């Protein structure tokens, strides 16, 4: 069992990376081999609309033809048993690096046929972890959910399975006194960090355990 985690945050040791690490710990506890990829370490672009992945009898049909640092990651995913992605929310959506990754990951497998039938060829487990410094209520009020649900829908359609984990009201700065921040209460943020975030970590660990169980 091979499980990959994809970190779409520029930070390697903060909320998103921590939760992804917990999923891999859970997977390892069930005997899986794991790998964590930090997208911000890689030099790549999003989809360039070359359509080589759609060309009839083309050598890149169903595969991304562009060659850059993302190419070996996409090749590994072809053989993976599960993928867990994570991103903080920037401007009501996942980070630019994560969005570019998703374009390159999903588009080659989706055909321009009825219901955008996938040609990935098998079903694997995929998961998405979202971290954000707003509450669940604010997420709904600001309309984050419809945007994010499309990500899950594409992953579900492409790979046959997707589940999501949300971490709300996360602690953003090491020291709030150093920044101009008037809309957040640091004490309340610290309370969430100390009481809720450990529960989020437990949920991530459990996700990893489930993903390391036998294939769907």
Series of mean pLDDT values for 10-residue runs along the chain (216 residues): 97 97 97 97 97 95 97 97 97 97 98 94 97 94 92 97 97 93 93 97 98 77
Burial of 214 per CB tally in 10 Å (0-12, 13-18, 19+): exposed
The model carries a pTM of 0.95
CA angle 111, 116, 119 (to 5 degrees): 50
**Is residue 216 a part of any domain in this protein?**
no
Residue 62, both tokens: 């169903």
- State how many domains the chain has: 1
- State which residues form the domain around 36: 2-211
**Is residue 46 a part of any domain in this protein?**
yes
Give the CATH number of the domain where residue 24 resides: 3.40.50.360
Contact predicate 58/43, CB 8 Å: no
CA angle 174, 94, 2 (to 5 degrees): 95
pLDDT at 75: 97
pLDDT at 215: 54
């Amino acid at each position: 069992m091979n499980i990959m985690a994809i970190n779409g945050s520029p930070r390697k040791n903060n909320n998103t990376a921590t939760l992804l690490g917990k999923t891999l710990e859970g997977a390892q506890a069930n005997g899986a081999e794991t790998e964590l990829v930090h997208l911000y370490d890689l030099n790549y672009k999003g989809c360039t609309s070359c359509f080589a992945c759609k060309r009839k009898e083309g050598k890149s049909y169903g595969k991304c033809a562009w060659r850059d640092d993302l190419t070996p990651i996409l090749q590994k995913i072809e053989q993976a048993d599960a993928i867990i992605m994570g991103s903080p929310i920037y401007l009501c959506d996942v980070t630019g690096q994560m969005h570019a990754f998703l374009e390159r990951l999903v588009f080659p497998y989706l055909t321009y046929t009825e219901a955008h039938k996938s040609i990935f060829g098998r079903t694997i487990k995929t998961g998405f972890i979202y971290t954000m410094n707003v509450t669940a209520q604010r997420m709904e009020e600001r309309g984050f959910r419809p945007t994010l649900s499309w990500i899950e829908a594409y992953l579900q359609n492409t790979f046959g399975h997707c589940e999501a984990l949300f971490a709300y009201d996360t602690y953003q700065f090491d020291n709030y006194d150093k920044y101009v921040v008037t809309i957040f209460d640091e004490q309340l943020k610290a309370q969430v960090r100390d009481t809720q975030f450990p529960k989020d970590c437990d949920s991530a660990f459990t996700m990893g355990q489930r993903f390391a169980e036998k294939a769907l």
